[in-house]
Structure 1
Amino acid sequence: MDSFELSRLTDFDFEAVCKDLLERELNLRLEIFSQGADEGVDLRHFRPEGANIVVQCKHWVKSSRAQLLRHMGSVELPKVVKLNPSRYIVATSTELSKDSKDKLFNILQPYVRTPSDIYGRHELNALLEKHDDIVRRHMRLWLCSASILNAMLAKSIATRSQHLTTQLDETFKTYAPNASHERALKLLESRRVCVIAGIPGIGKSTLARVLCAHYVSQGFELVEVSGDVEEVNQLWDDKTKQIFYYDDFLGLTTLEDKLHKNEDSRLLSLMSRVEQSRTKRFVLTTREYILAQAKQRYERMHSHPFEMQTCVVDLADYTYKARGTILYNHVYHSHLTPKAKSAFAAHKVYGPIIQHPNFNPRIIDSTLRQAALFKGSRKPIGQRILDNLQSPAEVWDHIVNYQISASDVRLLLALLIFGVDVSLGDLRSYWKSRVGDIKSLMSGIQVLDGTMVRTYVKGESVFVGFHNPSVRDYMRDYIADRDDEFQTLLSSIQHFEQVENIWALASGWKGEKVWRMLLENEDLFEKSATASFASAGLRPDGVNNSYDYAHRARLYLDIGEKLSSRRILDQALAYLRKPDCLNGAYEGEDVVGIVRDLYTSPVVEARAIAPTVLESAVAWLTEDVSTWDNLRFAEDWLDEIADYVPDSVHEEIMQSKISLAEYAFEDWLERGSDSVWSITDVREMVDFARTVGDPHFWLADVEAVAVKVEEAEQANMRTSRSASEPAESTPRGNDGSHYAELLTVDQMMGTLRL
């Protein structure tokens, strides 16, 4: 039997589930009552002749059987006597033994007819097993089921991120179904790729995780992409159903954050590969404006039909009921006192929040976390949420200015200048050299963890980062208004990545203030940047330092030109004069960008070394063209700098493609799908062959190869038919009229009353 974790449900969820189960079992309609004034009634069936059935739902997660029995005898029994129902039914999430059921039956006679009218956790689980459609109707029930969580834990090797399981668990507690879920699910079934876009804090990552959970429930393996699409290619398994999850694939606050680490051609190639596979799904998230930046900057992304793969999460998706559910779930699962939670049962408290034009789930979550950890404010928590919705910066402003120490603020500034989640080892080294007192660092992490900071384990190392992007956004604006703090930050730079991040903050979204501060302190930035070019890189895996001097040189070319800094520019040129300057390059984008920047530079010395660097770039791009993927990679990047590349290089690439295609065609004609060449590659080769010369140009029969590819694809379709069946969209339920939504939300919030 699947163990449904009833303890994860809210009180209102539990009542709604009991209502559906008992309506099905008893074959009658039950009405639900608001909490607080139920007088012993949660559900009721009333008959004209006067007979009525009363159901009492007791969602007692942390109470024992003995406590339940005492409560039912001392508190509920007098209410039952007063009601005098013809039949009284008890449903509880508490596990009941045979002895405890018999005792409860004896307490509640004659109103409880038989012990079978008492439903404990075991009986409710049995009914859920029996009525799968009811399970599917209540999304949070099946999202929270043990089978889903265990399946995700079982795939921990694939996800390689222990903190993802924790994030998913938190998501399940607070998610509220809305229209974006159905749109995204349809995209994944029709296109197999879904890019979830929207404004900060609107719920993009939440939706993505819920979609991942849906597919895990369908037998898919979950693979989290942490920083490079090549991870997907390494873990791709043709025989396994897999869903790939890539959060903020274009960066957190600006395009510069990530794209230089993931060439657009490889990303688009992977998206195409997933679209062609019936056993794969790909979920990506990004902010709308960053996606727009990427489409403007990169030709391939501009021409890609993202609109056919994108689900935009909008405020319009959050109906009154959805907003109410989001608020209720966050309050219910928060660490507020029961008294503080009960305040939200009043419409005058929850109504203005739900109807606020700036309604934002992240702000609600952050405010509640702040209120639970940093006590002392006399302002009611409901009003604080309203204030923060009106002015989002106030979520963090009060903490930073009034509730934490100067050392804690220094920790936040340290994380800001690192830009990415940083290993505790790197953070300790930085802190020791700049502050000295490691105890203050560990104390700051302890104080802020769970509100403004998050910690998690990756591999064998602990990593520290901002709790969510809104904290980074706040700290960016915080530093831009404080000249002394900004100067201290620039002086503390030790790593190239810190230079890169300061530049990204100044160049990115809402970076105007940082840009002005940077110009005002150009000399200080120049000094720190030149001292950091050859610095030890951070340890993204917690163990090994990262070095990519080609990437560093390209960034310094950009900084040197835009700041008119010859010191920074000369440092890049000095490195690029080395014969092996591109040998350790990792990204084609950097190699090609360097060539383009040198040829178009207004500086004579830069243009003078351009031809030599071009030779190195061509050698780097064409170093290994033994595979079709590598040939496409080389051809795509060479096309970017076609104005400077000799025609002979393009001709060599073309000849290599022809030779490789000929070899693959012969192998496919002989071995078919047992060939070492993939169906995807050979299909592309066939398309390529049809554009080069006439059929007699090729030694192999191109159309015969095409037929074999088609046969192999049809065979794959037959073997993966179970994976290709349309996914059952989780029923969203009938929201009914606006009045019905108002009533449902009022009943829901009413369960918070003491």
Structure 2
Amino acid sequence: MEFFLSKLNDREFESLSADIISDELDLTVEKFKAGRDGGVDGRFWIGKREGIIQCKHYWKTGYKGLISKLKKEEVDKVKKLNPIKYVFFTSIPLSRENKKEIVEIFSPFIKSESDVWGEDDINDFLSKKENQNIVEKNYKLWITSTQILDIVYNNAIKGRSESTLSEIKSNNERYVITNNHTKGTEILKNSNVIIISGEPGIGKTTLANNLALYYTANGFEFCDIEESISEAEAILRQKEKKKIVFYCDDFLGSNVYDAISNKRDSHIVKFINRIKKDDSKKFILTSRTNILAMAVSSSHRFQNEDLREDEFLLKIEDLSDLDKAKILYNHIYHSNLDNVYIDEIYKQKRYKQIIQHKNFNPRIIEFITNNKRISRIKSSEYWNYIVDKLDNPKEIWSNFFQYQIDDPVRVLTFLTVFNSGVIGESVLSKSYSFYKQNFKMNTGSTDSSFDAVRKLAIKSLLNRRKIGDRIYEYTLFNPSVSDFVLNAYLEDVDLVESVLKALGTRSSIDFLNSLKQNNRISRSIIREIQSELFRHFCDIKLIDRDWDYLVQLSCLDILNTRVVNSIEKFIIEISSYKEARGERLYELLELLIDFNGNVEIKDFSFVAGYIQYGSLDREDINKVVELIRKYDIKDEILFENLSDEVDSYIREVFADNKSSANLEPYIHSSYDHEHGEFVLDFDSGGIEHEMESILDTIISELDEKLLDYIEIDGADIIESIEIDQLVDDFISSYGEGYEEEFRGGYSSGGNSSCDIEAIFERN
């Protein structure tokens, strides 16, 4: 059996070498994180003397490059280390003369030629049956071995399946095992069916490919199906007792309506249910989330069978920075990029900017490290090319957005983008209805109701999350959606005006203002949009107007006196409006304080109602104090309501801060010799003083004039603290091992940033 070591990157090769020596010598081998190693890739101990493993992958460089490196750099390192035993690994083939030369270079530390491992030695070791545990531990090595490839090839059902498997096998060297792979394998093991969904470029097909390879390598026949479930059903009947993994990339494709109108959904549901009940069968599907949502929303059969319970949604935020680092490193390693290009990524640790970029996406990483794509780009321009593709991933979204979704889904996306990327469900529903009634939108023959359309948009372009009892909000599935929309549609003034009219929110005007501040939109367009929105605002009844919206709208162009004068008239209307609406307190305060002009208000009792039914934060409280001072208000009801709300605010903020306070300096551990255990004690006076400091800080952030109008009983708040419970909560937050923490023996683990730097460290 032959193993293709070239499929491994240098970090993976080092890990394999350490596993081999650990097994060969029956010793524990310490592996070190990737990075500048000082000549040590692994360490073991013989008695009290240190043994060293050194690895040089060098399958790209060849023997001459290897020897040159050893003579120039590695010999001096070994002399300084002075190990009792030195074992050398390389992935290139070595002749007997080659081994002799390496032994001579490292004499007397390499004792014999058996301590020099080349490609053939590694293959011989891994081919032995007793060493299969090491092979299987290194997934990429195992899955690309000749034996497994033969199994995979022989298990491909002839025709398209054979071709698909061949393509899958040739593209898996860049694959990185992340938690998604483990989760996917577990789902298939337990339920036999997995529908992998996610945004374009997230890695749906790559994960599906490797799950299919895994099962095929473990004796399952591989069957690639497209949209014809009848084809899969026929194979199932023929091979009822065989182990089969069915594979369907891009489930239903863009022909979802055809599938449902022709009643194929019932066949799909029946087939999936059969697979779920048969552990000898597996079904792996990928689907664009909008297609899956569309299918479920359009098919009662899919809804009744809860098709989405088999969904495994891939999200970029589920990848740690370390996972992203491995993905990037693997792509660079196998990219065949010239060193001058790779240097641009390593320069000033720029790889961190890629890993932490909001638009990080495996497809973009593949795009920017594709040697053929950048062949015409100068190395000096390469970094700018990378930044541009990350900042403006048009080629990722354009086709999907323009051709794979319809107008209603696009409108929901526009509304979310222009509402600063976050929008409540009630606002989105209302805005969508307004847009649908007043502007041109091609709905086709499909259900264009809000409920139907939002289900299509969820998880393809939008996320929906619960933020309260029956309260939901929507965010963009990926920040790059906003980038694409702005790049593609911002100059369409009619569209932007339509979307902003439909929204009518402060957030939308804030977003427009940010575009102006960042010079993304011209002043002439801003004025045109502002005038149109102002005319629209004046047509709305007082009770339905968003007051602060008007304030923000005027800020787009403060020279628009027409808008400012209208705000003054609007304030007079508000003061005579008796229905208190607490959620509008801050908007009311801004209007009264910032745009009073020649307005005269004699009775401020209406403000008290807004305070009573509001939920004040620090800014609200300080604004109320500013209002009282500005107009010299004497209203006792207002003061009483303000006092109650300030007390509630302080207690709430204090509760949050006291539970997160660091009490470690006030908690002590001592050893009880009589009972043979550690005992924890605490300084209650010190903790109480810490609480007083926290309370003083909260109060100090409020307007100092506040105490001229109300009293704050800080002593009552402090007396309400249960010190014992506070300490118990603090200690329990450490979980298991908290005693070691207070004894000073606790270690918090590795530094993620250092681990990332180590991956990209050049030896």
TM-score (norm 1): 0.52
Superposition map of 1:658-697 within 5 A: none
What is the alpha-carbon distance in structure 2 between the residues aligned to residue 240 and residue 349 of structure 1? 51
Write the deviation string for residues 502-551 of structure 1: whole angstroms up to 9, x where unpaired: 7x76568549999xxxxxxxxxxxxxxxxxxxxxxxxxxxxxxxxxxxxx
When residues 207 and 22 of structure 1 are mapped into structure 2, their CA distance, relative to the original with a 3 A threshold, is same
Residue 202 of structure 1: SS of its match in structure 2?
coil
Instruction: Give distance in 1, aligned partners of 2:91 and 2:364.
Output: 32
Cα separation, partners in 2 of 1:95 and 1:161, compared to 1, 3 Å: same
Alpha-carbon distance, 1:371 to partner: 7.0
Aligned position for 1:458:
none
Partner of 2:760: 749
* Shift of residue 92, structure 1, vs aligned partner: 1.0
Kept in 2: contact 1:250–1:257 (CA 8 A): no
Deviation at 1:181, TM superposition (A): 2.1
Which residue does 1:263 correspond to in 2?
Answer: 264
1:23 equivalenced with 2:5 (yes/no): no
**Which of structures 1 and 2 has the larger relative contact order (alpha carbons within 8 angstroms, sep 6+)?**
1
Partner of 2:53: helix, strand, or coil?
Answer: strand
Candidates 59, 62, 66, aligned match of 2:60: 62
Q: CA deviation at 1:170?
A: 5.0
Partner of 1:308: 309
Kindly report which structure 2 residues correspond to 1:288-437, keeping only aligned pairs within 5 A, or say none: 288-345=289-346, 348-369=349-370, 372-376=373-377, 381-382=382-383, 384-393=385-394, 396=395
- Counterpart mapping for 1:67-466 below 5 A: 68-69=66-67, 71-73=69-71, 75-128=73-126, 129=128, 130-158=130-158, 160-161=160-161, 163-165=163-165, 167-169=167-169, 171-236=171-236, 237-251=239-253, 255-256=256-257, 263-345=264-346, 348-369=349-370, 372-376=373-377, 381-382=382-383, 384-393=385-394, 396=395
Equivalent residue letter for 2:398: Y
Is the contact made by 2:157 and 2:222 (CA closer than 8 Å) also made in structure 1? no
**Whose radius of gyration is greater, 1 or 2?**
2
* CA displacement 1:196-246 (0-9 Å, x = unmatched): 111221111111111111101211111111331222123331232110100
Conserved in 1, the CA contact under 8 Å of 2:193 and 2:282?
yes
The 1:363–1:63 alpha-carbon spacing in structure 2 relative to 1, beyond 3 Å, is closer
Task: Tell me the distance in 2 between the aligned counterparts of 1:322 and 1:304.
Answer: 35
Match of 1:32 in 2: 32
- Cα distance, 1:261 vs. partner? 7.7
Per-residue Cα deviation, 1:236-274 (whole angstroms, up to 9, x for no partner): 31232110100111215x745866688111111111121
Q: Could you give the per-residue CA deviations for residues 461-505 of structure 1, whole angstroms, max 9, x where no partner exists?
A: xxxxxxxxx3xx52476xx7xxxxxxxxxxxxxxxxxxxxx7x76
Q: Per the alignment, do residues 508 and 216 of structure 1 end up closer, same or farther by CA in structure 2, a change over 3 Å counting?
A: farther
SS at match of 1:57: strand
8 A contact 1:193–1:271 mirrored in 2: yes
The whole-number CA distance in structure 2 between the counterparts of 1:744 and 1:126 is 33
Letter in 2 for 1:263: R
Write the distance in 2 (CA, Å) between the matches of 1:264 and 1:21.
Answer: 51
Distance 1:23 1:509, change over 3 A: farther
1:158 CA drift (Å): 3.3
Pick closer, same or farther for the CA change 1:68–1:143 going to 2, 3 Å. same
Alignment of 1:499-518 (within 5 A): 506=406, 510=410
State whether structure 2 residue 7 is matched by structure 1 residue 5. no
Cα 1:55–1:302, aligned 2, differ >3 Å: closer, same or farther? same
Give 1:747 deviation, angstroms.
2.4
Return the letter of the residue paired with 2:242: T
Q: Structure 1 148/385 Cα, relative in aligned 2: closer, same or farther at 3 Å? A: farther
SS of residue in 2 equivalent to 1:40: coil
Q: Distance in 2 between matches of 1:223 and 1:96?
A: 41
Q: What residue identity is the alignment partner of 1:3?
A: E
Q: Distance in 1 between matches of 2:380 and 2:261?
A: 45
Q: How many corresponding residue pairs?
A: 432
| C-alpha distance 95-508 of structure 1, shift in aligned 2 (>3 A) | farther
Any idea what the Cα deviations from partners look like across 1:31-82, whole Å, max 9, x if unmatched?
43654x4443333457996x43232201121344455445534553344345
Please report the RMSD computed on the Cα atoms of aligned residues, expressed in angstroms: 3.5
Letter in structure 2 aligned against 1:246: C
User: For the residues of structure 1 that align with 2:380 and 2:312, how far apart are their CA atoms?
Assistant: 38
Runs of 5+ in structure 2 lacking a partner?
415-442, 448-746
Amino acid in the other structure paired with 1:219:
G
Q: Is the 8 A contact 1:52 1:85 kept in 2?
A: yes
**1:382 shift after superposition:** 4.8
Cα distance in structure 2, aligned partners of 1:346 and 1:65:
29
Using a 3 Å threshold, how does the CA distance of structure 1 residues 371 and 7 change in structure 2: closer, same or farther?
A: closer
Task: Show CA shifts across 1:699-718 (max 9, x none).
Answer: xxxxxxxxxxxxxxxxxxxx
Tell me how far apart the structure 2 counterparts of residues 266 and 349 of structure 1 sit (CA, whole Å): 51
Among all aligned residue pairs of Structure 1 and Structure 2, give the percentage whose two residues are the same amino acid.
Answer: 28
Deviations 1:302-336 (A, max 9, x none): 11122432211122321122111111111111132
Distance 1:100 1:376, change over 3 A: closer
CA distance in 1 between partners of 2:445 and 2:218 (Å): 52
Residues 349-392 of structure 1: CA deviation (Å, up to 9, x unaligned): 11122222332111111222277444225665455444433331
Show the counterpart of 1:415: none
Give the conservation status (yes or no) of the 8 Å contact 1:336–1:368: yes
